[in-house]
Amino acid sequence: MVVQAKKREVKEAQRRRRQLEERCRLEESIGNAVLTWNNEILPNWETMWCSRKVRDLWWQGIPPSVRGKVWSLAIGNELNITHELFDICLARAKERWRSFSTGGSEAENEDAGFSAADREASLELIKLDISRTFPNLCIFQQGGPYHDMLHSILGAYTCYRPDVGYVQGMSFIAAVLSLNLDTADAFIAFSNLLNKPCQMAFFRVDHGLMLTYFAAFEVFFEENLPKLFAHFKKNNLTPDIYLIDWIFTLYSKSLPLDLACRIWDVFCRDGEGFLFRTALGILKLFEDILTKMDFIHMAQFLTRLPDDLPAEEVFASIATIQMQSRNRKWAQVLTALQKDSRDTEKGSPSLRH
Q: For 262-283, what is each residue's pLDDT tens digit?
A: 999 999 999 999 999 999 999 9
pLDDT bracket for residue 108 (50, 70, 90):
very low
Greater confidence, 20 or 63?
63
Which pLDDT value is given to residue 121? 52
pLDDT reading at 351 higher than 60: no
**pLDDT for position 7:** 72
Using CA atoms of 39, 42, 47, 48 in order, give the dihedral in degrees to the nearest 10. 70
- So what's the pLDDT on residue 273? 97
Residue 166 has phi, psi (to 5 degrees) of -100, 135
User: How would residue 119 be classed by pLDDT, with cut points 50, 70 and 90?
Assistant: very low
Residue intervals in the chain for CATH 1.10.8.270:
83-104+113-195
End-to-end CA distance of the chain: 69
| Mean pLDDT of all residues belonging to the chain | 88
Considering just the CA atoms, what is the radius of gyration of the chain in Å? 23
pLDDT at 237 over 70: yes
Instruction: Please tell me the CATH code under which domain 83-104+113-195 is placed.
Output: 1.10.8.270
Q: Is 138 exposed, middle or buried (0-12, 13-18, 19+ CB in 10 A)?
A: exposed
With contact defined as beta carbons under 8 Å apart, do 268 and 70 qualify? yes
Q: What is the pLDDT of residues 90-105, one digit of tens each?
A: 999 888 888 777 765 4
Opening angle at CA 203, ends 319 and 82, nearest 5 = 90
Give the pLDDT score at 22: 60
Contact 333, 219 (CB under 8 A): yes
Residue 352 clears pLDDT 50, i.e. is over it: no
Would the pLDDT of 133 be above 50?
yes
CATH class of 199-346: mainly alpha
Above 70 in pLDDT, residue 29? no
User: Where does the chain hold its CATH 1.10.472.80 domain(s)?
Assistant: 199-346
Query: What DSSP designation does 196 have?
Result: S
The model's pTM is: 0.85
Distance CA 100, CA 119 (A): 7
Residues of the chain with CATH 1.10.10.750: 1-60
**Which numeric CATH code is attached to 1-60?**
1.10.10.750
% of the chain residues with pLDDT over 70: 86
Which whole number is the average pLDDT over 306-312? Answer: 92
Contact of 299 with 241, CB cutoff 8 Å: yes
Instruction: Please determine, for residue 288, whether its predicted confidence score (pLDDT) is greater than 80.
Output: yes
**Secondary structure class of 105 (helix, strand, coil):** coil
Segment 182-187 long-range contacts (CB within 8 Å, at least 24 positions apart): 183/86, 183/149, 183/152, 183/153, 184/83, 184/86, 184/87, 185/68, 185/72, 186/149, 186/153, 187/81, 187/86, 187/89, 187/152, 187/153, 187/156, 187/157
Residue 46 pLDDT class (50, 70, 90 cuts): very high
